[in-house]
Amino acid sequence: MIEGCSVSPADPNPDVHPGSVARPDWWKSAVVYQVYPRSFADSDGDGVGDLGGILDHLDYLELLGVDVVWLSPVYRSPMADNGYDISDYHDVDPLFGTLEQLDELIAQLHARDMKLVMDLVVNHTSSAHAWFVESRSSTDNPKRDWYWWRSPRPGHEPGSPGAEPTNWGSAFSGPAWTYDDRTGEYYLHVFTPHQPDLNWENPEVRQAVYAMMRDWLDRGVDGFRMDVINVISKVVGPVGADGRVTLPDGVVGGERDPRWPGVVDTDVFADTPAFVLNGPRVHEFLQEMHRQVFAGRPPGLLKVGETPGCPVEEAVLYTDPSRDELDMVFQFEHVDLDSGPKGKWDIRPMTMLRLKESFGRWQNGLAEVGWNSLYLGNHDQPRCVSRFGSDAPEHREQSAKALATVLHLHRGTPYIYQGDELGMGNPGFTRLEQLRDVESLNHYATAVARGENPADVSRALAYKGRDNARVPMPWDASTGAGFTTGTPWLDLHPLSGSVNAAAQVDDPDSVFSHYRRLIALRHAEPCVAHGTFRMLLANHEQLYCFERSFDDTRLLVVANLSSTADVVPDLSELVAWSSAEPLIASVPGSSPTPTDPLAPWESRVFRLT
Ligand code: TEU
């Protein structure tokens, strides 16, 4: 039994326990842990994390109590985007290990009542994938239409700026088309030129993807996190003179599509999201995928879709169980709250009120139908403590706990990004040379080329760049932080000496132990997974409070998401209780009541009767 918590972390999750027939919605009481393999643990000393490193740390994940591991890509890849550019879906990249090790990981996780969810990256492949190599070989190759090849814009010198078939911009800077002088045509890539988009209009493409997915399910994986899955259906125009559907131009310099304030330079390009997000056939494709891949398989699989630019009403369509599409989606609204009109790098202050407003709307929007995924961080976002909390030394730990308390007690499935359970903050990059992420480096080059002040661009990258999340996992205080015996591919976190797993796993007051308590509570208390949600004090600038109710159980969550001391929650008008049993208290040794003043970043959970 962990001090300060009435449930034992050892209690397995009844909905996930292999002994029990999995509920179709088992994932409502599950907690998912995201592993970014490059940065988790290196077992062969080459400075890059790998499957061997993950196998070496399964006891850690079991101790934490998570039910599912989401593994970011480990497939063969030229690593133009750290694996989100796949050249062979059926093999593991030697950098990460072997297929045998992956089979071992599946077996070992299953032996520990845990599941493995693979990353499915099928909006695009790598330009090194055999499909694309064939497709680009000639205009009449049978796989030509597996990708989006189009002729240069008439009246323009092929390969010259403006000759692209449409004026769409890439999400990683520059145009969304690259000229291939071998066949005199352009191919589409919403991300880098090394990530050509698959043409999902072509049924052969869809069948090839479904076959690959079935192979992985037959191999024992328990589901997929589907990369930018709401980008697979493009807005197409009428069939053109070349017998292929046309793709429409957008308005250059027009309003930026607020749904996905990526980095498309709308002064030069049209805002691509308008033509690729939640496209006309996306639901049809997902329902077909369900029929051809998941239907008839035992419950217990997870389908989570990454859906940038997905509004609440669209999320209901994706996650309504009666539509057989997805179990839940990663929506981006709260991770774009600090993006200004010029997009992701136009940094605006993140406010708790705006976070509360957004989360509250998503809780209400999917209260009856659909399901939320709950996350504050992942491999594409800066560390949540630095962005939503406070990484000031005196507040970092409590704010890490408070963010976790608030997130994990919402209605939805929580996702922990590796290192958040240790309270890791941004490392404080100061030099461009420290960065490795293609999105950040492309943005720096493009922004400086168009005259932006390099120092301003560097500041934006240091605050919001994806490398913030990709700093190697600090396992202990040794030279290589227990991550590697070699030279890490990305600098270790400057606080690895004090903020590391070894320093926390046996400390009942650590951020790690706080996460264990929250996970144990979700496993033991059905109200956490299945209860209704009611926001309280919606306009309070410091407090984030809400009530969860299920049958005759009521839970009250009270958190001070500010550095202000002695904040008193006036809940008298809103909630009635005769007794309030503290279930989670972030301040060690405290036994608070619901109306006691809260210290900076203090958080509490009560069972009300
Ligand atoms: O991310 C898609 C996506 O939305 C991100 O590009 C995001 O907008 C951006 O990084 C935030 O700045 C997925 C993967 O998670 C990401 O790692 C890949 O780079 C991308 O798709 C392409 O596969």
pLDDT > 60? residue 56: yes
Cα gap 521→524, rounded to integer Å: 5
Among 34, 84, 119, which residue has the most ligand 1 atoms within 8 Å of its CB, making it the best to mutate?
Answer: 84
Among 335, 327, 389, smallest CA distance to 359 is for 335
Among 227, 383, 468, which residue has the most ligand 1 atoms within 8 Å of its CB, making it the best to mutate?
Answer: 227
pLDDT tens digits, one per residue of 235-255: 999 999 888 999 999 988 766
Q: Whose CA is nearest to atom 5 of ligand 1?
A: 380
Average pLDDT, the chain: 94
In this prediction, residue 192 has a pLDDT band, given cuts at 50, 70 and 90, of very high
Residue listed under structure tokens 């009246």: 155
Q: Which amino acid is at 38?
A: R
| Overall average pLDDT of the 454-480 stretch | 97
Q: How far apart are the first and last CA of the chain?
A: 23
pLDDT at 13: 55
Q: Which atom of ligand 1 is nearest to the CA of 172?
A: 6
Residue 305 backbone dihedrals phi, psi, to 5 degrees = -105, 135
- Going from the Cα of 24 to the center of ligand 1, the distance in angstroms, rounded, reads 29
- Going from the Cα of 380 to the center of ligand 1, the distance in angstroms, rounded, reads 6
Cα gap 521→518, rounded to integer Å: 5
Residues present in the chain in total:
609
Q: Which atom of ligand 1 is nearest to the CA of 439?
A: 10
In this prediction, residue 263 has a pLDDT band, given cuts at 50, 70 and 90, of low
pLDDT at 510: 98
Q: Is the CB of 171 under 6 A from ligand 1?
A: yes
Q: Which atom of ligand 1 is nearest to the CA of 380?
A: 10
pLDDT at 270: 86
Handedness of CA 79, 84, 85, 86 (dihedral sign): positive
pLDDT > 60? residue 231: yes
Among 70, 71, 69, 68, smallest CA distance to 26 is for 68
Which of 96-100, 248-252, 406-410 has the least mean pLDDT? 248-252
More confident call, 571 vs 521: 521
Residue 218 backbone dihedrals phi, psi, to 5 degrees = -65, -25
Residue 514 backbone dihedrals phi, psi, to 5 degrees = -65, -40
Q: Is the CB of 228 under 6 A from ligand 1?
A: yes
Catalytic machinery residues:
227, 306
Q: Whose CA is nearest to atom 17 of ligand 1?
A: 380
Q: Is the CB of 467 under 6 A from ligand 1?
A: no
Residue 240: count of CB within 10 angstroms of its CB = 13
Q: Is the CB of 344 under 6 A from ligand 1?
A: yes
pLDDT tens digits, one per residue of 282-335: 999 999 999 999 999 988 899 999 999 999 999 999 999 999 999 999 999 999
- Going from the Cα of 286 to the center of ligand 1, the distance in angstroms, rounded, reads 20
Q: Which amino acid is at 40?
A: F
Among 345, 378, 380, which residue has the most ligand 1 atoms within 8 Å of its CB, making it the best to mutate?
Answer: 380
Which tokens sit at 488?
């890490």
Which tokens sit at 398?
């409590």
Cα gap 36→471, rounded to integer Å: 10
pLDDT at 258: 66
Cα gap 436→440, rounded to integer Å: 8
How are beta strands 328-330 and 339-340 bridged, if at all?
Answer: unpaired
Collapsing DSSP to helix, strand or coil, 563 comes out as coil
Is the distance from CB of 555 to CB of 530 less than 8 angstroms? Answer: no
- Give the DSSP per-residue string, 424-462: --------GGG---HHHHHHHHHHHHTT--HHHHHHHHH
Percent of the chain with pLDDT over 70: 95
CB-count burial class (<10 Å; 0-12, 13-18, 19+) for 31: buried
Percent of the chain with pLDDT over 90: 87
Q: Is the CB of 439 under 6 A from ligand 1?
A: yes
- Going from the Cα of 86 to the center of ligand 1, the distance in angstroms, rounded, reads 14
pLDDT at 577: 82
pLDDT at 174: 93
**% helix / strand / coil in the chain, to the nearest 5?**
30, 15, 55
Q: Which atom of ligand 1 is nearest to the CA of 263?
A: 12
Cα gap 312→185, rounded to integer Å: 38
Print the SS3 string covering 349-410.
CCCHHHHHHHHHHHHHHCCCCCCEEECCCCCCCCCHHHHCCCCCCCCHHHHHHHHHHHHHCC
Q: Is the CB of 309 under 6 A from ligand 1?
A: no
pLDDT > 90? residue 598: yes
Beta strands in 249-356 (DSSP E): 302-306, 328-330, 339-340, 343-347
pLDDT tens digits, one per residue of 341-374: 888 999 999 999 999 999 999 999 999 999 999 9
Which tokens sit at 195?
């990530």
CA distances from 74 to 87, 96, 225 (A): 11, 6, 13
In this prediction, residue 15 has a pLDDT band, given cuts at 50, 70 and 90, of low
| Overall average pLDDT of the 438-461 stretch | 96
Q: Which atom of ligand 1 is nearest to the CA of 438?
A: 19
What is the rounded radius of gyration, in angstroms, for the C-alpha atoms of the chain? 24
Which residues lie closer than 8 Å to 492 by C-beta, 6 or more apart? 471, 472, 474, 480, 481, 483
Residue listed under structure tokens 């790598």: 126
Among 353, 352, 343, smallest CA distance to 384 is for 352
| Overall average pLDDT of the 186-192 stretch | 97
pLDDT > 60? residue 41: yes
- Going from the Cα of 84 to the center of ligand 1, the distance in angstroms, rounded, reads 9
More confident call, 457 vs 267: 457
Ramachandran assignment for 174, one of left (phi > 0), alpha (psi -120 to 50 degrees), beta (any other): left
How are beta strands 185-188 and 149-150 bridged, if at all?
Answer: antiparallel
- Going from the Cα of 599 to the center of ligand 1, the distance in angstroms, rounded, reads 36
How are beta strands 413-417 and 75-76 bridged, if at all?
Answer: unpaired
Cα gap 120→208, rounded to integer Å: 13
Which tokens sit at 120?
């499915």
Which tokens sit at 302?
């997870």
In this prediction, residue 5 has a pLDDT band, given cuts at 50, 70 and 90, of very low
Q: Is the CB of 231 under 6 A from ligand 1?
A: no
pLDDT tens digits, one per residue of 535-567: 999 999 999 999 999 999 999 999 999 999 999
